[in-house]
Structure 1
Amino acid sequence: MHTLPLFAENDPATLHPLMAAYPLATLVTTSAAGASDVHLLPLELHTPDGAVACLRGHVVRSHSLRQQVGEGDSLIALFQGPNAYISPRWYVNSQRSARLAPSWNYVAVQVRGRLRWVEDDPAWVLTHLAALTAAQEAGRAAPWSLDMAAPDYVESAARHLVGFEIEITALEGKRFLSQQRTEADRRSLVEHLERELSGMARDVARLIVP
């Protein structure tokens, strides 16, 4: 991920919450034969006390990830947070010179890691699914939990799934939020983004620091 120093963010304390809030990751893998593939999968950020964080996920046994990626293989997981188009009309400065171009504001986290398969362990899968669900249901007035589903249905599903963990070997974040612009420009961007119909645009507005 190409990142200039001004936009780099590598503090896990900042990146971990973003990964947890936007868990649908893009996994980029390369098989032993050299073929590349891309998968969209929700990943659980697992941060046990006193241990290095890892990512946990699951797929059905017939999934191409299971068929093509072996134990210990390297991969990339990309988490993308809110993003929004930036109109040149919103800039306060440089209007007279017309030296302006559209832009895009966004935040993203790139994880490099090694994959480990969790074979024939329905209890691990159930714990992982419960944690993944609880994270998304948190804050709801009436949160749904895994124990509300029929036990035989959940246990059957767990037996058809295979889990995996990704040992994080490198963590790199990018916050492209108009830091190169003036304070007046950033305040103007926040004002205009908050008027947009897109909820993501308003989310971006909350991330921009005037």
Structure 2
Amino acid sequence: MHIQALFAHNDTAALHRLVAAHPLASLVATGIDGGLQAHLLPLLLLPGATAARPARLQGHVARSHPLRQEVADGSTVLALFQGPNAYISPRWYVNGQRSARVAPSWNYVAAQARGRLHWVDGDAAWMLAHLAALTATQEQHRPEPWSLDMAAPDYVENAARHLAGFEIELSALEGKRFLSQQRTEADRHSLVAHLQREPSGMARDVARLIVP
């Protein structure tokens, strides 16, 4: 991801919140044949407790999944997390209407994590704890949250046996907030007003992120 200085977002706590709020990642890895693979997978972020135990991402796939079959332990992978995004119409730029020197754009927030993938295979306790934690992150704000212990134990244990877990020890976590920072204050006020009227809920989410 190309990150210009103006749009760089390096607040670790804020990046952790972005990853937690948008856990479905595009995980890019190199297979044994040298070809690139991209997989959409929900990943659980575990913030690092100490320098010796850095932040890591946990995930899982079926044992027959290409990631398990073709990506070796210790491989470097890249996970891309996409936050809110919205199309920006040239008509919304106040100053642009005067000069006509404008083009369509896109506002977005994203984070990319890089690290080495290590397989966790055959550890039933790890898998059950991982599945329970991943589920809890999505259910915790619901009025009646569902938890893994509500499923039949034999069903859960059988499902877990068909899964392979992995952890990615992060060597880098970078973010980008492309939110019209290069535009004038008048333009940003106009963008917020127009995005708030868009039918897309995501557009309204972007409006809340723009700093007029």
Alpha-carbon distance, 1:85 to partner:
0.2
> What is the Cα deviation at residue 189 of structure 1?
0.8
- Flag structure 1 segments of 5+ consecutive residues without an equivalent: none
Map residues 1-210 of structure 1 onto 2, 5 A cutoff.
1-47=1-47, 49-50=49-50, 51-210=53-212
- Whole-angstrom CA distance in 2 between matches of 1:202 and 1:152: 44
Is the partner of 2:182 in helix, strand or coil?
coil
> SS of the counterpart of 2:18?
helix
TM-score by length of structure 2 reads: 0.96
CA RMSD of aligned residues (A): 1.0
Q: Measure how far apart 1:95 and its partner are.
A: 0.8
Within 1, Cα distance between the matches of 2:143 and 2:210?
Answer: 29
Letter in 1 for 2:27: L
Partner SS, residue 37 of structure 1: strand
SS of the equivalent of 1:101 reads: coil
Gaps of 5+ in 2: none
Q: How far apart are 1:119 and its partner, in Å?
A: 1.0
Alpha-carbon distance in structure 2 between the residues aligned to 1:162 and 1:33: 21
When the two structures are superposed, what TM-score results if normalisation uses the length of structure 1? 0.97
2:135–2:148 contact (8 Å) kept in structure 1: yes
**SS of equivalent residue, structure 2 residue 115:** strand
User: 2 CA distance for matches of 1:58 and 1:73?
Assistant: 16
1:166 is aligned with what amino acid?
I
